[in-house]
Structure 1
Amino acid sequence: MKDTLYIPGKETPNMPDYDSLCDKFKWENEFKNLERLPGGGLNIAHEAVDRHANSHLANTVALRWIRKDRSLIDFTYSDLKIQTSQFANVLEKLAIKKNDSVFSLVGRIPYLYVAALGTLKTGAVFCPMFSVFGPEPAFQRLSKGKAKVLITTTKLYQKKIKQLMPRLPLLRHILLTDAKQHIDEKVLSLSMLMDEAPDEYLISNTQPEDPALLHFTSGTTGMPKGALHVHQAVLTHYVTGKYVLDLQPGDIFWCTADPGWVTGTSYGIIAPLVNGVTNIVDEEEFDAERWYSILEEHRVNVWYTAPTAIRRLMRLDFKPLEKYDLSNLRLIHSVGEPLHAEEVIWGKKTFGMPICDNWWQTETGGIMISNYSSMEVRPGSMGKPLPGIEAAIGNIVEDKVQLLTKPMEQGHLLLKKGWPSMFRAYLDEEERYKKCFKGEWYVTGDLAKKDEDGYFWFVGRADDIIKTSGHMVGPFEVESTLMEHPAVSEAAIIGKPDPLIGELVKAFVVLKPGHERSEKTKLDIKGFSRKKLGPAVAPKEITFTDSLPKTKSGKILRRLLKARELGLPEGDKSTLE
């Protein structure tokens, strides 16, 4: 499918030619497009809000919040400057200092976005949490992150946080977004504090390497890991917004991710604002008709969503272009779990454009490998590295990297150290952090291949790889093949211990509506996969299931399926969808 997404009459992409930009790309040249602070420092909130509020974009809508009832509140860049400055002054009044941690436990409401950017203005570190976290996952993060302030609602405080207070001696203040009066000297009304706060604030002279964002990523066991990012990450947010999401002046952008997930912060807050466009925020959860109507009503140009949502849309017997005017939509991107080729092609059939997959991690802070608007989209591929990023495939031998150079050799996906949004630490886990690096390379933990044209192809997590009868089987390859069967809606693959062949390939399958969970269906799927993959790689066992366990970011939790299958400890389930 040799599609480029731009057609005559549409905007010229910011990156008309991938190869020529890669040849001349320098991070320092892009850095010149940011303003920096008067004292020479760098602050994410200044680049995302204040510099636009002080320019011709002052009255441009920065944030459009869609309530559950579909009513709207618009915040211009000027409005956002005032409100984030007020929040910064609130923190200052509460004696929050540089590098202190400020957490949020709220849904997608304006105060979340104001708090994130206001916190960054002060030089404190912002850490968002999913509002659906129970008390224990919230405690783990608040405790490990040494939270000084938490922004939440009265209901969430009463239900989840109040019981934790004796265990959180460092937590000084709870700021309730919906309380009209202060509860006590520790539990305060945020609206009262905001009303009393000055609307001008002199941003802390933060430096590029000063801590800014803390994101927790689930471990297979025990406590989640806290990945720490610095203010220099804003350069990656700016560049990826410009060249991957192709954000252009006047664009309406919608990232459906919650800021509790790194995508919802990097691309649901920072990247669109740094690029000076209008950012849509929907308070409500997934609803297909609502989503399509938002795309139409708000004339969304660029849409960034997750594979889980795309697969839900695919299950519907519905052609959106017959009911909705989506003519303003020019680009769709997806992240979270790799997109199968079938899903990319579905985008072409449904919206007139393939869905562009991209790859990155909490640790990378921003998009590292992607399909691009002006480049051929190869369904099932991760795409090519962001200009300025050096990616490679290699083996780890005696703690050293050996690069693989032949096309489609399978190995570890590696990134050359030093990009602006690279995480700078796992909080209080120095040895764990060091183990992520081998010499000049960051070892991502993912396995991949690179074809002769430089496109990368995801194989699977290194710890998900199945060793069966001498073969190394990546789950993604098998899952993609199963997805081609007309009865299969979703599939997940694990390795199950077997005394003869090491591990056998087991599939968990969600059937499409109208297909029967029968032995006949099971045999048909097995036969189909054996024909496509060969008997050594095709699943030997299939279990039908109503749904697959996923994180809130859409990643299939294969390790959870395996733990349940083998009766093992399930590990951290705090981000379970």
Structure 2
Amino acid sequence: MLARVTRKMLRHAKCFQRLAIFGSVRALHKDNRTATPQNFSNYESMKQDFKLGIPEYFNFAKDVLDQWTDKEKAGKKPSNPAFWWINRNGEEMRWSFEELGSLSRKFANILSEACSLQRGDRVILILPRVPEWWLANVACLRTGTVLIPGTTQLTQKDILYRLQSSKANCIITNDVLAPAVDAVASKCENLHSKLIVSENSREGWGNLKELMKFWLDLTPSDVMWNTSDTGWAKSAWSSVFSPWIQGACVFTHHLPRFEPTSILQTLSKYPITVFCSAPTVYRMLVQNDITSYKFKSLKHCVSAGEPITPDVTEKWRNKTGLDIYEGYGQTETVLICGNFKGMKIKPGSMGKPSPAFDVKIVDVNGNVLPPGQEGDIGIQVLPNRPFGLFTHYVDNPSKTASTLRGNFYITGDRGYMDKDGYFWFVARADDVILSSGYRIGPFEVENALNEHPSVAESAVVSSPDPIRGEVEFIQELPKTISGKTKRNELRKKEWKTI
């Protein structure tokens, strides 16, 4: 299905075209320690040669995925599958691009016919890492419906808020969250279709397994594994668009909860060539005896979500022989800066800007600051707004306006650029600590603390003590589902004693 291209429709597809550089799957090397960059010779040549072609009509499913199907049929593509799924029970499922296309069309027909959805209608998708999550993504692309992903950790209150705010017409979820949806559905006047991924029927719900009925044979292949939760934009970046633009296999392991040993065993057992995960995951992995595992196929590791400390990257390199290429971005922007292949990595830096964005450090008035001076990280939007940037927050013009300062979109993060053009993260703007007139970035303090062998991880927040701060040791830091430290909870704990 073709659609007239608008800025809003293009922002996903073309952003992931450039992100394919960040997470591509290539032929295996005998020695992953001597693998040479496959994508470009150096950062400057990539930046200079970057050109974004914007067609009048574009649909990711037809113009990317279906093109890989044609190449697959013509024998012009390696034998790796499009999708490879496993779970802890030893079950596996593998799809070629042709099978992915056929199944996603069936799913699209369900949305269009059984659910009577039309282009522009909104679909909330709340599923864990099960194959139906990927089919729903592609089906929405085929039908022109707007996909709104949600994490499986959402509460009844969270679901109600999302249904009412988005005016969603359809929701897709599983047995676990279906009761919560039913409890609030009467308050959501736009919701008229409910689809469930379950072995059992549920009154008032369409059962996807009954509507589709499929099972496929399995064979081994090269893969890309991204561990991001399905409720975050990062899962779309690295579990849908980037790998499939490259014709690579999407690998996923459905783990109900994070288990370091399971991650290490999977990397060792399966021919995963590219691994993408949050810094917290890498930190927990290096605390294990990695040397007892052999990652024979792994050749490229990337990280995003929050800054990764130099001590983690050093430990990972010492134990695996591989660097971790850090990237920085937001749901609103996709990739802003990254450590790309062929580029010197400065430990602790988030690399250089994506060629699609003009990134600067600006002051409170929107003026560009010189190298070495801390300020707000901004993306130039005037006179020409880049296509990779979101257009606006739905039904929230005041919040949209708050992100603009002069000619720049303000990310809400603080940082600085060094003389070589590398960007360095300091903190979220609301995480900066003020002490005796000095501005302190918590990341730098955490960096120092984490170097101590007795510290597994740390989080630094401001404290109301008028004279001195304290160091508190706890068993576990509060985390978001994606592994980020909840500094707001720590701050509340410190300041409620005033």
Q: TM-score range by the shorter chain?
A: 0.7 to 0.9
Task: Kindly indicate whether residue 100 of structure 2 is the aligned counterpart of residue 80 of structure 1.
Answer: yes
Secondary structure of 1:449 counterpart: strand
Q: Which residue of 1 aligns with 2:67?
A: 51
1:527-538 alignment runs, 5 A limit: none
Of 471, 487, 496 in structure 2, the residue corresponding to residue 558 of structure 1 is: 487
Task: Kindly indicate whether residue 223 of structure 2 is the aligned counterpart of residue 252 of structure 1.
Answer: yes
CA contact (8 A) 2:374 2:414 kept: yes
1:22-33 alignment runs, 5 A limit: 22-28=47-53
1:119-134 alignment runs, 5 A limit: 119-134=140-155
Q: Which residue of 1 aligns with 2:372?
A: 408
Task: Kindly indicate whether residue 325 of structure 2 is the aligned counterpart of residue 307 of structure 1.
Answer: no
Q: Which residue of 1 aligns with 2:396?
A: 429
Q: Which residue of 1 aligns with 2:239?
A: 268
Q: Which residue of 2 aligns with 1:166?
A: 186
CA contact (8 A) 1:341 1:379 kept: yes
Count the aligned residue pairs: 453
Give 1:7 shift: 7.5
Q: Which residue of 2 aligns with 1:218?
A: none
Give 1:355 shift: 1.4
Counterparts of 1:264 and 1:156, CA distance in 2: 20
Task: Kindly indicate whether residue 278 of structure 2 is the aligned counterpart of residue 295 of structure 1.
Answer: no
CA contact (8 A) 1:153 1:177 kept: yes
Of 443, 455, 458 in structure 1, the residue corresponding to residue 422 of structure 2 is: 455
CA contact (8 A) 2:33 2:322 kept: no
Of 327, 332, 351 in structure 2, the residue corresponding to residue 363 of structure 1 is: 332
CA contact (8 A) 1:251 1:302 kept: no
Give 1:70 shift: 2.4
Q: Which residue of 2 aligns with 1:541?
A: 470
Counterparts of 2:400 and 2:98, CA distance in 1: 40
Q: Which residue of 2 aligns with 1:326?
A: 295
User: Could you state the TM-score of these two structures normalised by the residue count of structure 2?
Assistant: 0.86
Q: Which residue of 1 aligns with 2:39?
A: 14
- What per-residue deviation string (whole Å, max 9, x for no partner) do you get for residues 501-528 of structure 1? xxx6xxxxxxxxxxxxxxxxxxxxxxxx
The amino acid of 1:295's aligned partner reads: L
Give 1:554 shift: 2.2
Counterparts of 1:58 and 1:259, CA distance in 2: 27
Flag the 1:118–1:265 CA change in 2: closer, same or farther, 3 A.
Answer: same
Give 1:495 shift: 1.4
Counterparts of 1:188 and 1:10, CA distance in 2: 48
Counterparts of 1:153 and 1:8, CA distance in 2: 42
Counterparts of 2:167 and 2:105, CA distance in 1: 24
- What per-residue deviation string (whole Å, max 9, x for no partner) do you get for residues 214-255 of structure 1? xxxxxxxxxxxxxxxxxxxxxxxxxxxxxxxxxxxx852110
Counterparts of 1:156 and 1:402, CA distance in 2: 47
Counterparts of 1:155 and 1:485, CA distance in 2: 42
Counterparts of 2:222 and 2:329, CA distance in 1: 24
Give 1:439 shift: 3.2
Give 1:128 shift: 1.3
Secondary structure of 1:480 counterpart: helix
Counterparts of 1:10 and 1:60, CA distance in 2: 20
Secondary structure of 2:39 counterpart: coil
The amino acid of 2:458's aligned partner reads: A
Counterparts of 1:48 and 1:113, CA distance in 2: 15
Give 1:54 shift: 2.3
Secondary structure of 1:368 counterpart: strand
1:222-233 alignment runs, 5 A limit: none
Q: Percent identity?
A: 29
- What per-residue deviation string (whole Å, max 9, x for no partner) do you get for residues 94-140 of structure 1? 21111111111221111111011101211110011111222111221
Counterparts of 2:161 and 2:249, CA distance in 1: 35
Flag the 1:58–1:434 CA change in 2: closer, same or farther, 3 A.
Answer: farther
Secondary structure of 2:459 counterpart: strand
1:332-351 alignment runs, 5 A limit: 332-351=301-320
Give 1:59 shift: 6.6
Secondary structure of 1:402 counterpart: coil
1:78-227 alignment runs, 5 A limit: 78-93=98-113, 94-158=115-179, 160-179=180-199, 181=201, 183-184=202-203, 186-194=204-212
CA contact (8 A) 1:58 1:77 kept: no
Of 396, 400, 415 in structure 1, the residue corresponding to residue 364 of structure 2 is: 396
CA contact (8 A) 2:32 2:297 kept: no
CA contact (8 A) 1:288 1:313 kept: yes
Flag the 1:7–1:310 CA change in 2: closer, same or farther, 3 A.
Answer: closer
Secondary structure of 1:493 counterpart: coil
CA contact (8 A) 1:179 1:190 kept: no
User: Could you state the TM-score of these two structures normalised by the residue count of structure 1?
Assistant: 0.75
CA contact (8 A) 2:37 2:342 kept: no
Secondary structure of 1:360 counterpart: strand
Counterparts of 2:79 and 2:438, CA distance in 1: 60
Counterparts of 2:102 and 2:472, CA distance in 1: 55
Counterparts of 2:119 and 2:79, CA distance in 1: 31
Answer 1 or 2: which has greater strand percent: 1
Counterparts of 1:328 and 1:24, CA distance in 2: 31
The amino acid of 1:351's aligned partner reads: T
Counterparts of 1:271 and 1:439, CA distance in 2: 32
- What per-residue deviation string (whole Å, max 9, x for no partner) do you get for residues 382-435 of structure 1? 1111223211111022xxx11111x31111111123333311221110121122
CA contact (8 A) 1:360 1:368 kept: yes
- What per-residue deviation string (whole Å, max 9, x for no partner) do you get for residues 255-274 of structure 1? 01122111112111221111
- What per-residue deviation string (whole Å, max 9, x for no partner) do you get for residues 307-360 of structure 1? 1111211222x1x24x33313211111111101111111121111122121111
CA contact (8 A) 1:411 1:448 kept: yes
Counterparts of 1:411 and 1:98, CA distance in 2: 42
The amino acid of 2:119's aligned partner reads: K
Give 1:498 shift: 4.8
CA contact (8 A) 2:125 2:150 kept: yes
CA contact (8 A) 2:37 2:341 kept: no
CA contact (8 A) 1:154 1:177 kept: yes
The amino acid of 2:439's aligned partner reads: M
User: Superposition RMSD on alpha carbons, in Å?
Assistant: 2.2
